[in-house]
């Protein structure tokens, strides 16, 4: 069995049944689970199959300084399930030597993670948008793998507004300029994970002028389920309809490289279709600087691997719980593949640029 309590106090747990060999030993890399949350040989299954003790919860790790603590225990299958052994696994988010510095400069509110060593380091701006607040998990893990990462909040953090009615791209431009000061250089590479081909919900502004309207939605199209969570895959209006053209992102005007990642079982919205629209638009304009990958059986929330699969949680736009889609085993495999893919993409396209500059940090 495995159990862990997140930063919000929600308990996540899992269990699987194994048969020990003649020496009383179990090797998770060799031996299959016979029953429980998963079956078959799944060395990390006890981690990704953990589920919350209450409905519609997603594991929350707010501060990268707090490790992901997992208690493992081995029980006899018969009788009262007597505990035979137990241990606590400390899964750190920040590797040795990584420096975490809160950033409050100008309008920027976020955290900068710097890898150990002199550099130069390839730099990354890490963005989570809807939902507000700040997420440090992905940024700290990337920094632990040699990237200088700035993760910023758009709202709902520090002295930023709790809610916003529009997104000002000047803020993100300021964050990019801040990063450029750290590395004395820049290069535009984008990793797009389960996004949309249009700007959604909040209009985009730049230099106090609206540059993109927001693609809106019809919540009447949300599909209720027995769990109380809703399927929102079909609530967004059609981004290709004439009346919504102002929300489309003219991606062909971008000069950088793209990595598109889409989950084929995303129940939040149709990520695969939106990815295909972006790829088709780039091809139509003769653009070739992109890669794309899609994952069957994966849901909306693709994150660094080996965390609990999130079946449903609160959707801030819907104002209710939403089903995110996917099947746990396939979703976990997608996260493993995606995590390596992202690092390879960033390293291949950023390292050559960073090598020309000496980092300040």
Exactly one of 187, 263, 271, 313 is catalytic; name it: 187
List 168, 300, 331, 349, catalytic entry = 300
Q: Is 4 a catalytic residue?
A: no
Which of the residues 6, 265, 266, 270 is marked catalytic? 266
Structure tokens at 156: 């709902």
Residue the block writes with tokens 């529009």: 166
Alpha-carbon gap, residue 264 to 300, rounded angstroms: 9
Per the listing, tokens 């794309």 go with 292
Buried b (16+ CB within 10 A) or exposed e, 287-299: beebbbebbebbb
What are the backbone dihedrals phi and psi of residue 171, each rounded to the nearest 5 degrees, phi first? -65, -45
Order across the sheet with 11-14: list the strands: 51-52, 11-14, 2-5, 68-75, 83-91
Q: Which helix (H) or strand (E) holds 277?
A: helix 271-284
CB contact burial 28-37 (16+ within 10 A = b; e otherwise): eeebebeeeb
Query: Distance between CA 5 and CA 9 in Å, rounded?
Result: 6
- Catalytic, 331? Answer no
- List residues bridging with 323 in a β-sheet: 312
Query: Residue 166: which of 110, 206, 131, 205 has the closest Cα?
Result: 205
Is there a catalytic annotation at residue 96?
Answer: no
At 31, list the tokens.
């031996």
Q: Is 172 exposed, middle or buried (0-12, 13-18, 19+ CB in 10 A)?
A: middle
CA dihedral 301, 307, 313, 314 (to 10 degrees): -80
Q: Please identify every residue annotated as catalytic.
A: 187, 266, 300
């Amino acid at each position: 069995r495995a159990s862990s309590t997140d930063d919000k106090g929600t308990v996540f747990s899992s269990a699987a049944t194994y048969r020990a060999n003649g020496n009383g030993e179990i090797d998770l890399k060799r031996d299959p689970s016979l029953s429980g949350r998963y079956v078959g040989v799944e060395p990390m299954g006890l981690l990704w199959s953990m589920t919350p003790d209450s409905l519609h919860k997603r594991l929350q790790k707010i501060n990268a300084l707090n490790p992901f603590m997992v208690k493992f225990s081995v029980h006899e299958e018969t009788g009262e399930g007597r505990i035979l052994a137990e241990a606590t696994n400390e899964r750190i988010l920040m590797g040795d030597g990584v420096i975490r510095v809160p950033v409050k400069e100008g309008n920027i509110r976020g955290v900068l993670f710097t890898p150990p060593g002199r550099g130069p380091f390839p730099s990354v701006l890490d963005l989570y948008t809807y939902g507000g607040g700040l997420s440090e998990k992905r940024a700290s893990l990337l920094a632990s793998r040699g990237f200088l990462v700035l993760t910023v909040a758009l709202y709902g953090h520090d002295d930023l507004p709790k809610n916003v009615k529009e997104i000002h791209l000047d803020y993100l431009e300021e964050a990019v300029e801040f990063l450029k000061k750290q590395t004395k250089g820049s290069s535009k590479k984008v990793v797009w994970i389960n996004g949309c081909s249009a700007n959604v919900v909040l209009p985009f502004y730049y230099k106090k002028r609206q540059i993109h309207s927001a693609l809106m939605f019809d919540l009447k199209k949300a599909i209720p389920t027995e769990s109380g969570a809703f399927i929102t895959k079909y609530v967004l209006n059609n981004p290709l309809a004439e009346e919504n053209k102002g929300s489309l992102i003219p991606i062909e005007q971008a000069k950088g490289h793209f990595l598109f990642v889409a989950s084929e079982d995303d129940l939040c919205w149709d990520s695969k279709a939106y990815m295909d629209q972006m790829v088709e638009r780039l091809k139509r304009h003769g653009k070739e600087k992109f890669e794309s990958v899609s994952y069957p059986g994966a849901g909306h929330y693709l994150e660094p691997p080996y965390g609990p699969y999130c079946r449903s949680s609160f959707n801030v736009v819907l104002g209710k719980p939403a089903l995110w889609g996917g099947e746990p085993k396939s979703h976990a495999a997608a996260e493993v593949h995606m995590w390596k893919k992202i690092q390879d993409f960033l390293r291949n396209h950023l390292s050559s640029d960073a090598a020309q500059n000496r980092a300040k940090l």
